[in-house]
Structure 1
Amino acid sequence: MERRKFLTSAALGATGAALAAPAVAQASKKIMTIVSTWPRDFPGLGVSAQRVAARITELSQGAITTEYYAAGERVGAFDSFDEVASGNSQAYIGADYYWVGKHPAFAFFTSVPFGMTVTEFNAWIKFGGGQELWDKLSGEFGIKALPCGATGTQAGGWFNKEINSADDFKGLKMRIPGLGGNVLSKLGASTVSLPGGQIYENLVSGSIDATEWVGPYNDYFMKFYEAAKYYYTGGMHEPGSDLAMGMNKAWWDSLSEWEQSVISAACYEENAAQYEEAIALNGPYLKKLVEEQGVQVRAFSDETWDAMYEAWLEVVAEVRDHSPLAAEIADDYDAKLKEYGSMMAKFEITYVNQRNRVMGLS
């Protein structure tokens, strides 16, 4: 009986402690306005952004109330960075490589050609010093950023013709943002960066010949197959894209440690959830694209990969030359990539390749 009484009292005490922080925070309830680079209810990316926004309110038990605006509802998709840096809104959700015009090193905090997978990127951010470098970069613009989503290795893109060699990129008009766009420009492509809501109309009208987006689950709902039937898997441009919640740094610094912990927990939870959702759904949706829409799945040739890698070496050299901070980030990223990649090759990749071989998977 005494033991039962002790356990009951302990449980009540723990509950009281858990509620204490939200009760204190309720006294200074926060409104967190979030602007997004994705359209509302957009499969995959948009749904994920809405999910993490709602989760912050839920985890904080209303102490932090989020007001979510999809692309175009408060500001345009590509205006979200300035909206938050200025303090007009508290946070944006998007892909930080959209901001390479402000500083090319932002690309390293979404994905870069021939770069890290999601697993490797998360290791770098959480345990390899990546977050500290991200803070250093984004802090120069009044932003504090956290990972809040991940898409996995993205598809090479949708094309209205087959890509048999690197020469086929010459003269091609393609939507591809970040440093991946710079790589294809080196190969002779004409590249543009368009927000998600504008890609379909440009592809159908012929304003662009090709586009990359995400992967089968996200891409299925974009209906790119109506204008481009060749779908290339395993692109070099985004091997492990992570998405960001960028917050106004002054606002972030004004939060209590508990409030910061709530936001961080929601972001890290969604960072895992979106990636797992993509792994679960990409297979079924690729099958639907092939069987229902007649999409033809292709892979880039080794020669094409080699040419893209040579172009990437030129691009990353230009990034390093931009500034000492760009060089610091690029060099640290490269060193960690080689360290993680070598270990992955010995264990995860060896296992997956051998498992797939004996099971006849391709």
Structure 2
Amino acid sequence: MEAVEPQSLKRAALDLSSSMSLGKRTRTTSGPRNHTWHAPWKSYRVISGHQGSVRSVAFDPGNSWFCTGSADRTIKIWDVASGRLKHTLTGHIGQVRGLAVSQTHTYMFSAGDDKQVKCWDLERNKVIRSYDGHLSGVYCLALHPTIDVLLTGGRDFVCRVWDIRTKKQIFALTGHGDTVCSVLARPVEPQVVTGSHDSTVKFWDIRNGKAMLTLTHHKKSVRALAAHPRRRGFASASGDGDIKKFSLPRGEFLHNIAREKEEKGGIVNAMAVNGDGVLVAGGDDGSLCFCDWESGCSFQRTRTVAQPGSLESENGIFAASFDVTGSRLVTCEADKTIKMWKEDDEATPETHQLNFKPHHCSG
């Protein structure tokens, strides 16, 4: 089987030029909180191939391929430009809930319901390391951006910190009272942020393995976290549909991110933010809400369409990620498909005006 092409940092930077042709357009417009106009997004490709719901996604730093993990226990690698399947990797015996691709090595990491965390060598398309220690399913993972450290969280209520090369557990970050289902890794303090079904968000000091701060603003389980790639701040989403924005590094609550009234109360499973300040939130009911990061106001709402033959209950969105340029979006769905989205090239502020209705923005 042909190996996935290795991507160095230099190569990654050069390869972005082809993706930039999709374009990203924003314009500041007068209104509450100086809203930024964003072009609406549209689905342009539906990818089939998994035999179970698609639970996780990660992009190659060179932006030429992305990988998805599924309830069918496989990891599939897809070509970004064409959407064609490149490889299928097997090895997990439970659904694959977390994926991450190294920025500096030819490694991909996966985590699943089988309690397993695996490191894949993409030059040989095989597992070269396993990280053993979780007592139950592993729901999330993240790679530290500057040091060779892997973070994993799961149903055993623990976020574990691993040395990538030695496979040794450095710390077990304990303190959550329920499943750790989302984790962020940052180059500066707080270097680790976790979200849990216990409805809290915690900041961690990985120098001593201790919690620095606990945020208790949510009433339901915190299912997704997303950090702005260029600005200080992150958002958290919960089981009751609330999305909240916080500052970094202090964790001050800034404001709510708006969703439509009819969407509130629905579970938010996935979030992503691109460099233009577009935040997207995907729901258990198939809703997809696009919001402006700065103002917290929604500028587009849509609902994914389950594929023919799927049940209405298979309309959910489980994961979402922008590509490296922020000009493509991938959503992973309960109907076993992957959908790709991009901005509408023909839209302008005149043809798609912002709607400043009060309920579109949250305080």
**TM-score bracket relative to the smaller structure:** under 0.3
Q: TM-score under structure 1 normalisation?
A: 0.26
- Comparing both chains, which one has the higher relative contact order based on Cα–Cα distances under 8 Å and sequence gaps of 6 or more? 1
Q: Which has the higher strand share?
A: 2
Q: Which has the higher helix share?
A: 1
Larger Rg: 1
Q: TM-score under structure 2 normalisation?
A: 0.26
